[in-house]
Structure 1
C-alpha cells in the first residue's frame, strides 16, 4: 500500500472527491453522541476524520491505516486543521488490530468504513474486526455493482477501478446480513455506491 500511495497521497483528496460519492452523507448520518468516540478503519489522508471532527466538535476521533505514507499526509492535515488534540492516528492492519493497545479503548460509539473494503483483500475479516469493536453503530459506504446504471458505465468503472487494485464487493450485502441480520443495507445513486448500517 505504501508503494501505491507514495505519490497518490499528494493529490488523493483532490481527485477522489469526484467519484467517492456519499461520504459526506454518511458523516451526516453518524449522529455521534456528545463526547462520543469514532474510529475510522482505513482512514487514508484523514479527510473524513477532519470532517467528522468539525461536524461533531465534542467527539474524540481515532483512525487507523495500513499505509504509513497515507498516515504521513493524514497527520499533516490534522495538524493544519488544529485537531491534533482530538484525532489520534495509528498504523495497523484493518483485519487484525488491538484497539485497546492502539488507542486505549476497546470499543467505539461509531465505527466507519469509507471506500476501504473494496481495497482490502480479506474484507470480510476487516468487517468482523470492525463489528467486534462497535459499541454503538457501524457505518460503511463503498462501490456498488452499478446495477441500475447503463451496462457500459458499470463495465467501464469496474475496468478502471481494477487498475487501482479496487474491486467492488458483489457479496457485500449478503455478508453483512450473515454477520448480523439487523444490518440495514441499501444501494445509493442507482447502485453506484452501497451503504450499510449496524446499530447495537
Structure 2
C-alpha cells in the first residue's frame, strides 16, 4: 500500500471529493455522546477525522491505516488543523485490529468506514471486528460504492472497470454480510442505497 500511495497521497483528497459521495453525510450522522470515542477504520489522510472532529468537538477521535505513507500525510494534516490533542493515529490492519493494543481502549462509541471496504481484501473481518468493539449504545457506520441498481448498465461497467484498475472492488455482498453480523452479535441493522445505487449506506447498532 505504501508503494501505491507514496505519490498518490499528495493529491488523494482533491481527486476523491468528486466521487466519494456521502462521506460528510455519514459524519453528520455519527452524533457521538459527549466525551465519546469515534474510530475510523482505514483513515487514509485523516480528511474524514478532521471534518468529524470539527463537527463533533466534544468527542475524541482515533484512526488507523495500514499505509505508513498515508499516515505520514495524516499526521501532518492533523497537526496543521490544530487537532493533535483530539485525534490519535496508529498503523494497523483493518482485518485484525485491536483497539486496546492500538489506542488503549476497551470499546468505542462509534466506528465508521468510509470507502474503505471496497479497497481491503479482509473487508468482512473489518465489519465483524468493528461490531465487536462497539460499546453499549454504540454504532457502526458505513458508506461505500453501491451496485448501480438504478443507473445505466454501461455507466456501471465503465465505472467499475476504472475502480478495478485501482484495486477497488464494490462489495455486492455487503447487505448480506451486515445482516449476518447483526444476527450474530444481536445488533440492529440499517441499509440504504443512495443516488440510485451509486453508493450504499449501512450500519449496525448495539442496544
TM-score (norm 1): 0.98
Partners in 2 of 1:190 and 1:60 — Cα distance? 34
Match of 1:90 in 2: 90
Counterpart residue number, 2:201: 195
Distance of 1:92 and 1:106 partners within structure 2: 16
Displacement of 1:32 after TM fit?
A: 1.2
Alignment of 1:1-200 (within 5 A): 1-135=1-135, 136-181=138-183, 182-200=188-206
Aligned partners of 2:60, 2:126: CA distance in 1, in Å? Answer: 22
Gaps of 5+ in 2: none
Output the CA distance in 1 between the equivalents of 2:67 and 2:129. 18
The Cα shift of 1:183 comes to: 1.3
Distance 1:153 1:17 in 2: 19
Contact kept? 2:94, 2:122, Cα under 8 Å:
no
Write out per-residue CA displacement over residues 91-130 of structure 1, whole angstroms, 9 at most, x where no aligned residue: 0001112211110102111000000000111211111111
Taking the aligned partners of 2:151 and 2:97, their CA distance within structure 1 comes to 37
- Alpha carbon RMSD of aligned pairs, Å? 0.7
- Stretches of structure 1 that go unaligned for 5 or more consecutive residues are none
Instruction: Report the 3-state secondary structure (helix = DSSP H, G, I; strand = E; otherwise coil) of the residue aligned with 1:167.
Output: coil
Alignment length (residue pairs): 200
Write out per-residue CA displacement over residues 149-194 of structure 1, whole angstroms, 9 at most, x where no aligned residue.
Answer: 1111111110000111000000000110011142101100100000
Tell me, in whole angstroms, the C-alpha distance in 1 between the residues paired with 2:140 and 2:118: 17
Q: 2:178–2:203: 8 Å Cα contact kept in structure 1?
A: no
Measured in 1, the distance between the counterparts of 2:53 and 2:100 equals 21
Q: Which runs of 4+ in 1 moved over 2 A?
A: none
Tell me if the contact between 2:118 and 2:169 (Cα under 8 Å) persists in the aligned partners.
yes
- Where 1:25 maps in the other structure, the secondary structure is helix
